[in-house]
Every structure is written in C-alpha cells, then in structure tokens.
Chain A
Amino acid sequence: MSTKTKSKTTYQIPVGPIHPALKEPVMFEFELDGEKIVDVDVSLGHVHRGIEWTGMRRNPVQVLYLAERICGICSYCHPMAFALATERVAGIQVPERAEYLRVIHAELERICSHVLWAGVAAHEIGFDSVLFLTWQIREKALDLTEYLTGNRVTKAITMIGGVRRDITTDMHSTINEGLQFIKDNFEKLRRVYLDDKTFRMRSQDVGILTKEDALKLCAAGPTTRASGVRKDVRLDQPYFAFGDLDFDYVTPDVLTGEVNGDVYDRIVVRLLEVKQSVELIEQCIKQMPEGEIVAEPKVAKLLASLKKIKGEGIGRMEAPRGEVIHYVKYIEHEFPYSWKVRAPTYNNILPWIPMLLGEQIADIPIVAASTDPCMSCTNRVAIVDGGKRYQLNHEDLHKLSVEKTRRLMK
C-alpha cells in the first residue's frame, strides 16, 4: 500500500470524489514530484447506499430489483448473481432454455459495457469524434437490449429459476441484423483503437500492471486478463450454458503475441471480448433447446417456497468488468439473513496503485479509466501547493490530457 515518500520537493493532489457522471466515486491522493506520480492513496465509500442492509429487509424477489439498481451498466449481472446464489441454496433446477437465454443477455450487456468504455477512453485522451463513433455502435446494442427485454438500462429480465421473457424464432432476424451491424463496424473500431499512432503512443507502456501484481492484488476481469492472467468465471466455473459453448480466455497475446499489461493491452482485451460476445450470442441462438424459461412461473408460490429454505450459497458471474460475487444466507425466514455483494471494481482499486506510480498527471485519466471504473472522479482536483490551495476541475484535468495527445501528434 502507500509508502508515503514525502519530501520537500513533492506535493499532493487529491483527485475526486464526486462528479455527476460518476458510477463509482473514488478519492485519490497523489504525491507528485514535478509531473511524476511518486505515491498514490485511494479512499472509497462516498456513495455507500447501504444496499446490502436494505436487501436484508426485503424478500428475494424484491432483492432482484434492488440488486439491479447497484449499477446502471451491470444491471443484469447483479440480480443474476443473487439469483444464482439463491438457486443453489434452494436447489432450484433452471430449465435448459433459460440457461441459454441468460447467456444472451449477459453477453449483450458485455457488448454495451465494453463499447461504452471504449468511447470514454477515447474521450479521456481527446478523441471525441471516436467517442461518437463508438457510442453509435452502442446505441444499436442498446436497441437490441430494448427489443429483447423491454428496457434499455435496468433490464428487469431476471427471475429466480430462469428469465422473464423468451426469444421466439420470429425475433431472430432482428437480432442477427443488430449483431451484423456490430460486426461490420468492428473493423473500424479495431483500426482506430489498435492501429492509430497517437492512440498507441498514449496507451502503450502506460499504466503497467505486472502479472505478479495482478495475482497478488486479486485483480478481476479484463484488468487481470490484460496482464496475462487466465481468469474468467465463464470458463473457470461455467455457469448458465457457457459450458456448452466454444470460446477461450482472451489475453492480449492472442492478438499481439505478447503481454505488457499496459493500457493498450486492456483495450485489446476488451475489443476482442466484444467480438467474442457476438459469437457467443450467435452460438446460443443456433443451439438453444426448446422448453420452459423459468422453473416456477408463479411468483407467490416461488416466494412461499423460498421462505422455507435454509443454508448459504455463492453466486459468481463474469460481469463486463470482472467477477461479480454474491453471498447469501437463508434461515427459513421471509428475508435473506445475510447478503454480501462484491462488484469487480472493489478488487480493481488496489491495482491502480502500481499502475499509476511513475506516470504523469496527464496520464491519470486514461490509466484510471483503463480498469473501467468510470473515470469522471477527476471532477474536483484541489492542488495543495505550499499552503495555497486551488482547484483543478474535471475539465482542466481533461484539458491536460488532451494537450498531451496534441503534443504527441505534432
């Protein structure tokens, strides 16, 4: 953790914690020597909303809708991880068709999330036209989400024992059309993010996380895979129908032949995963068996049976940003006795420290954004310099980053 190498020549910048666009507000305290970061400290919890506390006072079906509101982007993973944990305690057998439907929704969420992230990353280094290009693609993925679930953000598709809506054969053409659009545009994205000279200059050898650090600090998701750690719950412990599908771990060496663990590698992993997700949805549509979509369609009956269960279980899911894990304990009561939610960013906080050490102030936005935490915590930066205190806002910091890009382009 923080080693505090303070001296007369260094100064501090606190970054964060609040910005209207934040998904996860975080407070950084940077120790700087000139432009170089020599120490980082991270504080959390600025929007702790006591969701777990509330969940222990709600019945399991109500918890699904509460869990959906933990995160606007992972609004499918959280209720689903809770449903997985509950199903394991209750011994509910999910129908096969529902397992495939669950994969389709999970992968669609991954596409939306990764493409959104790619846009944010482009914005952070000053390529706003690329932001609009990527979000145009995301718009199509959101349209598809709306077509399949009835909602664009909080999908309300999860049910304990299955899903709430089916995909019928007459819907296949619209799905294929949406997936084709993403595939057609993929090459454009790949060219911009992976071949562009300036993009490479800003992302290569920046924010390095070594494989050893990733393992020691228990990093999760694309952040750890970009450092060469083969860790993906979809493959490690195939839940849903992932065990029936043909795919493999995505590490940057698949494309580039080497692992550096830098920002560039994290872009590579996410872009390849978008492609992989499209392929997984296509496989599901082809292989999906006929049958029921939920084990117990009557919610009142389901709730009555859940009142009688006793025991503990975990639900693990590979969310777009890494593993989501929910622990739940039941004691033959209407409400869960204990509920613990662990989102991937929880584990991707500590890896920021080795990533940011030695980097420049202008690299803070792209390095912090590279773990996909929603970077906008850089809203309010107060520089404490020789007792004088002044503030840099998000725009100023963003400007520094853009200026660095422009300098490199010359």
Chain B
Amino acid sequence: MTKQLTPKEIVQSFTDTFKTKIKNPRIETHAAGSKPTEFIHIWMNVDKSIFKEAVKHLTTLENYPHLAVASGYEWENTIELVYHFSIYFGERCKEISLNMTVVLPKSKPEIDSICDIIPGALITEQEKQEMLGVTVKGIPKDKRAFVSDDFPKGMYPWRKDETGASGKMVRNLHEGDK
C-alpha cells in the first residue's frame, strides 16, 4: 500500500502531473453526527485528452480505485460525464471521494474506455453510450445493456435536445389512454 496523501496533496499530484489539463479542482469538506465526523469530496475537471492517463495516475494512489458509476448530462453544446471514484477505503473515516468531470463536444462525443484499468467500468460505459450518445472508444462489449434492441437508433433518453426522448415516446399516465 502506497502512502496515503492528504486531499490537498492529491489535487497537487494531479495538477503537477497534468498542469493546465486539470481545471477547477475543489475540495469539499462535509460533516455529520454529533462529534462531528468530517469527510472529503474532491471535484475536478479533467481534459478529455488526458482522462485515461488521469485514471492511470489514480492507480498510483490506490491499487484498485473503486469506480461507483459515471453520471452524465447534456450542457449547451457539450456532454459532461462525471466519474465518481473512491480511494483509501477500508479504514474508518479515511475514504476520499474523487469526482472527475470530463467535457465532450456534442459534435464529437468520444471518450476512451477505462475497462483495461478498471474492468468494473463496463456497465457504466455501456449506459453512457445508450443514454447520452457518447462513443466509448475501445469498449470491450459494444452491445446495448439498458435500452432494448428495438429502441430507435440515434435517440438518447438523457439528452435534452432533439435526440432526446421525444413527445411521442412519452405517455402521461395521469392523462389516461388517448
């Protein structure tokens, strides 16, 4: 086990390695309970060109970083993915959540697969392909996982533009059958 870094050192190690490719890092401290117990959430924007390198860098901090899931949403002309990692679990109050936001242009929403580093990322990568229309380059299983095979191609339920779930596909049950 490598030495555990403090939240500031973690952010420092990323900015030292990737310089300007890491933007807006912020460290949030939250507290709960009577004592209270504090814990840390780190957020940072990672440039898509070094995203995979950044995940590799994460494995130097923790042998097996845990990837909970990747969230995602459309924002103006971009698609933003937020990868939720956690490191240093296994000891009381030591775990740090690390959230990496990657901004992809809507014209070419491509991101590298990280399944070769974290095999458990497969399902969440499949989900981002189907729900947001992101292309995950090098995904080991390029098959639909959540939406059915007969769901229209080129339609992505989480998008808010014309490629999102359209009015026809939505049935408002409270309006009754029409």
Smallest Cβ distance from A267 to chain B, in angstroms? Answer: 22
Measured in the bound complex, the distance between the Cα atoms of B119 and A43 in whole Å is 17
B residues 28-53 touching A (CB-CB < 8 Å)? 28, 30, 32-37, 39, 41, 43
Q: How many residues of B contact A (CB 8 A)?
A: 50
Smallest Cβ distance from B81 to chain A, in angstroms? Answer: 10
B32 & A88 in contact (Cβ 8 Å cutoff):
no
Smallest Cβ distance from A92 to chain B, in angstroms? Answer: 11
B147 at the interface (CB under 8 A from A): yes
A244 & B34 in contact (Cβ 8 Å cutoff):
yes
B145 at the interface (CB under 8 A from A): yes
Smallest Cβ distance from A39 to chain B, in angstroms? Answer: 13
Q: Which residues of B contact A43 (CB under 8 A)?
A: 143, 145
Smallest Cβ distance from B118 to chain A, in angstroms? Answer: 7
Measured in the bound complex, the distance between the Cα atoms of B66 and A229 in whole Å is 11
Residue of B nearest to A93 (CB): B31
A218 & B97 in contact (Cβ 8 Å cutoff):
no
A residues 213-267 touching B (CB-CB < 8 Å)? 215-219, 229-231, 233, 235-244, 249
Residue of B nearest to A213 (CB): B119
A218 & B165 in contact (Cβ 8 Å cutoff):
no
Measured in the bound complex, the distance between the Cα atoms of B39 and A97 in whole Å is 20
One digit per residue, 1 when the CB lies within 8 angstroms of any chain A CB and 0 when it does not, for chain B 89-102 equals 11111110101000
Measured in the bound complex, the distance between the Cα atoms of B145 and A217 in whole Å is 17
B89 & A236 in contact (Cβ 8 Å cutoff):
yes
Q: Which residues of B contact A372 (CB under 8 A)?
A: none
Smallest Cβ distance from A205 to chain B, in angstroms? Answer: 24
B148 at the interface (CB under 8 A from A): yes
Given contacts A88-B30, A342-B68, A347-B120, contact A237 B146 (CB under 8 A): no
B123 & A44 in contact (Cβ 8 Å cutoff):
yes
A349 & B123 in contact (Cβ 8 Å cutoff):
yes
Smallest Cβ distance from B136 to chain A, in angstroms? Answer: 14
B33 & A218 in contact (Cβ 8 Å cutoff):
no
A residues 303-353 touching B (CB-CB < 8 Å)? 312-314, 316, 323, 325, 327, 329, 337-338, 340, 342, 346-347, 349-350
B32 & A218 in contact (Cβ 8 Å cutoff):
no
A387 at the interface (CB under 8 A from B): no
Q: Which residues of A contact B21 (CB under 8 A)?
A: none
A340 & B71 in contact (Cβ 8 Å cutoff):
yes
Contact residue among A45, A229, A347 (Cβ-Cβ distance under 8 Å from B90): A229
Q: Which residues of A contact B124 (CB under 8 A)?
A: 346
A217 & B119 in contact (Cβ 8 Å cutoff):
yes
Measured in the bound complex, the distance between the Cα atoms of B97 and A282 in whole Å is 30
A237 & B93 in contact (Cβ 8 Å cutoff):
yes
Q: Which residues of A contact B34 (CB under 8 A)?
A: 96, 99, 241, 244, 287, 289
Smallest Cβ distance from A355 to chain B, in angstroms? Answer: 14
Q: Which residues of A contact B32 (CB under 8 A)?
A: 94, 99, 238-243
Given contacts A312-B82, A327-B82, contact A340 B95 (CB under 8 A): no
A242 & B33 in contact (Cβ 8 Å cutoff):
yes
B122 at the interface (CB under 8 A from A): yes
5 extra interface residue pairs, beta carbon distance < 8 Å, beyond A218-B67, A350-B123: A45-B144, A215-B64, A216-B64, A236-B91, A325-B68
- 23 A–B contacts from the bound complex (CB under 8 Å): A2-B141, A44-B123, A45-B144, A48-B146, A99-B33, A216-B64, A229-B90, A231-B89, A235-B93, A237-B97, A240-B32, A241-B34, A244-B34, A249-B90, A312-B43, A312-B82, A313-B41, A314-B97, A340-B71, A342-B68, A346-B69, A347-B68, A350-B122
